Amino acid sequence: MTHIGLGADGVAKPHSSGIQVIIVGLGLAGLTAAIECHRKGHTVIGLEKAAQPTHLGDILSIGRNGSVVIHKWDNGSVAKSLDSIRCDIDLITVYDEAGEVKDQKEMDGYRPGEGWVINRSDTVRALYDYGRRLGIDLRFGLPVTEYWEDEQQAGVIAAGERITADCVIASDGIHSNARPIISGAHAILRKTGSAIYRCGYPSEVLRGCAEAEWLLRNTENHDQLNHFIGKDITMLMGTGRHGKDVYWGCMHKSFHDDVSEPWLQPSDVTNALKYIEHWPAKDKLAAIIEKTPQGKCFDHLVMAADPLTRWVSEKGRMILIGDAAHPFLPTTGQGANQAIEDGAVVAICLELAGKQRIPLGLRVMQKLRYDRVSLIQDGGLKMLASLQKANWKAESKEDVPTMVARPFWIFSHDCERDTYQEFGKAANAVLNETEYTATNIPSDGLFRIIDEEGQKGTAGGDSKM
């Protein structure tokens, strides 16, 4: 479908909409918003406090609901660049703490042409490189210290410079400085009782280590992804780029105040080993953990968040997206996907609202996205509770522990198509202060762990690709 002002490929001429956008925070949400806003003809200034585009950590997953956006960029060239650095995983193998295989899951939704399990920093770099090729004004090393808006415009102060635009999109992460200013919420994060070690390093570190050979075996054909699940402890171990990279993570029960909330604080791997010292499968895992290079391991609390009352500022010219609006638990596997969906949807809402109705566009964006992300947030808590119990003998399949949930309604969603179809209805709901029924979640409003992609989903109006 071709929309007003867009060419047959869905891309507008640069700067043709007349809308000026400031984006604060250039992670996945911010970079996606910058690219999509540019593609819709908006003029973008992107600001990031970090000195360069990078993202410390291990791997992330982008399923079909996120990749459908990226596959449209530059005739598929960006997707191909991500294909070249993907973790080529065929199966996920799930074990208990004794090392007994409990389940195997095919990588539906993440196969070549569908999505990616991929290094975080590499993904951010690929999006940044594309944004620069498009000529988007992306500025690094510029922390934002103030936000402001009036009836006609909004802006920020960064490094002492006052920058003005039609609206501000804040995507500055889980510990957002913009959140209390825009939403009025000062503290939405709470401890879940779990923390997580995360790290990644080159597999050459394991060269000559016989105890680690199992993880690298046959990776010239496919990478590995293994989940070991025991009570209060979940261990992930895998490889990337056909065995060139090694990743591991350990989610463990923790109420300690000495664990970092941000994940940028290095930790000692010997602490992680203590959590599995009673596991029969300990020796199989310890060799990979012990070989972790200094400074490559991070331990941080797993924080949950209640949905915000609103993502849009009082005057309607500033909005939160990504983790700034709705932090996700790692159990959902949807943090990156929902960040991408946010970036694409906000760009379209601005396009359809037009320069004279910026506040309407941003409020419609929240209306279209709010129920979907809130339900996925709740699903993450449900999965975390199941993992903490690790009851392999549970009578209900919903209670059997898993880190692999692919609800059909999540993965089958095309956020761009849905936004063009639903914008008018959502706009009427905003203007008339009436209820809007979301079509991008199940009609009964429930998150089901076992409602996997490939099965018939329970989604409302969004069950087709």
Catalytic residue ranges: 198
C-alpha separations of 133 from 39, 126, 351 in Å: 12, 11, 22
- Residue 434 DSSP code: -
Per-position DSSP letters for 283-299, written without gaps between them: HHHHHHHHTPPTT-EEE
Phi, psi (deg, nearest 5) at residue 441? -135, 170
Residue 127 gets the label, from left (phi > 0), alpha (psi -120 to 50) or beta, of alpha
**Interatomic CA distance for residues 203 and 320, integer angstroms:** 38
3-state helix vs strand vs coil in the chain, percent to 5: 35, 25, 40
**Interatomic CA distance for residues 389 and 45, integer angstroms:** 46
Residues 6+ apart with CB under 8 A from 277: none
- 403 and 235 Cβ atoms separated by less than 8 Å: no
**Interatomic CA distance for residues 34 and 255, integer angstroms:** 38
Phi, psi (deg, nearest 5) at residue 242? 55, 50
- 362 and 317 Cβ atoms separated by less than 8 Å: yes
**Interatomic CA distance for residues 269 and 133, integer angstroms:** 40
**Interatomic CA distance for residues 269 and 183, integer angstroms:** 38
Q: Which two tokens stand for residue 274?
A: 């203590």
Q: HSE on the CB side for 333, CA within 13 Å?
A: 22
